[in-house]
Chain A
């Protein structure tokens, strides 16, 4: 049996025209549905390249990238200067951010008896996550939803337990709309939560929301859609209640694409645009500037190029907004920095 397997392995290796290349990446669960679709499509187009993406959370992805155990990382909260310096020191290479798509954090809930789409004010979201608002029929929630009968049940708050870019986007938004949040909790891929239960990954949080009645959690839009979890509209900076979808997220991106910094590390939460969904974010692939294995480097570069161009068409069916063309052009320029 073993001999047969060995012969088979030798034969397939010998007959394969190109060398088998596997790239390992880890991080964001926010963008996992997109990257897993990319990996599968790309493998069909280039059977000799396998892109193995593991969704361990943005925090974990950044850690493993710094430790050098993965070829690329993925995050939805940009790496901090300290993390970039640590990577430079440990790996001897800069890490470049490449936006790949845009997504939205949506407040998703499971309230027995309520099948309507709720509206959330920034004050309501901050209040719930600070622990000030504890009942579903709290006046702050009720006043935005006049026609809906909300129960007097306690709110079960769900957040992420792992280091997460989804969290980064969520708390970045809360910090912008609530001074109280900014002072007491702050921004990061993981924070000291005043209240709530932790779930691992977008997958885990979605699972908890589905299982626990009267719960609320923040997840990437596609997880709400695929799992038929209700999610609410959020009031933006112009006082309009906006539902997260392809258009409203694209509006958020459009405003920010003009002011995009050279390293692409930008936050687009709570933008000025009246049509924009306020809790949107870019999601980034983290690519090392230098790689010791040139063959792998070339494959990674080709995969990135494909993702930024042809791969963009797989974003919309999964409810991620494709990149604005201006940003894609600038990224293709940035790719010239990659030294392999």
Chain B
């Protein structure tokens, strides 16, 4: 398409109208970028502004006070959320990881298509449906709301993203590496586990961390699985409090103090997710540096 024309050498090129349009579009895109960044910042500042009065040591160490009484904290919900995420990862990560390896290294034709397609559909299932599904499958037969049920619901939600991100990062490993491994006499599984996966490990870890961050904020799947608890939940078979459900319950309550605690809990949750996501980016950046350097 590079055709030199006499007009392109004239001093009036490009014409003024194009320059103006260029400036307008540039400032529009800049504005949109600013808008996107400012939304996150505004949310963070707003959460902090409204919740700062409730953010004290008690908030992190105390159990909730009885309704309508002042004081108390959400320590049980913080521990509950950490337990739920640990369990969800224990379920979602191995399945997603192995599924991703299968898709990228072994599957072909219609089986790959089926797995990929159902995974994408699973990713699209509304989270509240996942809650009802696990309620029917786990809570009803066990006659108990439990950390276990909540963890299973979140774990299932983690599978699609863990699987697809693992697959994507494995596919990005150059074919020549695999061929090199096989040419040196390594078996296929040796090649996968000692060459391909280590080459993609930073990406895979990043994908999983972002996946954890994504389910950490889910409320709907927990309402009828993990339920709620105003005490600490011992073990895995008792109902448990979790940050998103506490935020939901406190936000619709009429008590000002609960509103403040809901804001504060939102801030704690979002900050936690931000930290996880920043660590994930750092890991990925380090991985890139290592593989290129």
Interface residue ranges, A against B (CB under 8 Å): 9, 20, 22, 24, 26, 32-33, 36-37, 39-40, 43, 50, 52-54, 67-70, 199-201, 203-204, 206-207, 210, 222-223, 226-227, 229, 318
Contact = CB atoms under 8 A, between A and B. Distances in A.
Nearest to B69: A37
10 contacts: A22-B234, A24-B238, A26-B227, A36-B67, A39-B230, A69-B139, A204-B252, A207-B253, A210-B254, A222-B68
A160 to B, nearest CB: 12
A52 B229 CA distance: 6
Contacts of A229: 254
Interface string B245-288: 00001001111000000000000000000000000000000000
7 interchain residue pairs of minimum CB distance:
A206-B254, A203-B253, A50-B231, A36-B66, A33-B67, A227-B254, A36-B67
B140 interface: yes
The DSSP consensus for interface residues of chain B is loop
Contacts of A210: 254
Given A52-B230, A54-B227, A69-B139, A207 B254 contact: yes
A146 B227 CA distance: 49
Contacts of B169: none
A219 B265 CA distance: 27
Contacts of A207: 252-254
Contact of B228 (A43, A54, A201): A54
Contact of A69 (B66, B68, B145, B255): B145
Interface string B209-248: 0000000000000000001111101100011000000000
Nearest to A12: B234
Contacts of A318: 68
B67, B69, B238: residue with the most chain A Cβ atoms closer than 10 Å: B67
Given A52-B229, A69-B140, A69-B143, A200 B68 contact: no
Given A22-B234, A68-B143, A207-B253, 19 more contacts: A9-B234, A20-B234, A22-B229, A22-B233, A24-B227, A26-B227, A36-B67, A37-B69, A52-B228, A68-B140, A69-B143, A69-B145, A201-B252, A203-B253, A203-B255, A207-B254, A210-B254, A229-B254, A318-B68
Contacts of A204: 252-253
Interface residues of B, number: 24
A22 B254 contact: no
Interface of B: 65-69, 139-140, 143-145, 227-231, 233-234, 238-239, 249, 252-255
Contact of A67 (B140, B234, B255): B140
A14 B52 CA distance: 39
Nearest to A219: B254
A14 B249 CA distance: 35
B254 A223 contact: yes
Contacts of B65: 40
A226 B254 contact: yes
Contacts of B254: 203, 206-207, 210, 223, 226-227, 229
A191 B216 CA distance: 36
A22 B228 CA distance: 13
A56 to B, nearest CB: 9
A164 to B, nearest CB: 14
Nearest to A223: B254
Nearest to A2: B86
A40 B66 contact: yes
A35 B253 CA distance: 16
Nearest to B234: A20
Given A33-B68, A69-B143, A203 B227 contact: no
A22 B67 CA distance: 19
A36 B230 contact: yes
Contact of B68 (A52, A54, A226): A226
A22, A32, A33: residue with the most chain B Cβ atoms closer than 10 Å: A22
Nearest to B254: A206
A37 B66 contact: yes
A168 B238 CA distance: 31
Given A36-B230, A54-B228, A206-B254, A22 B145 contact: no
B234 A24 contact: no
A52 B239 contact: yes
A141 B143 CA distance: 50
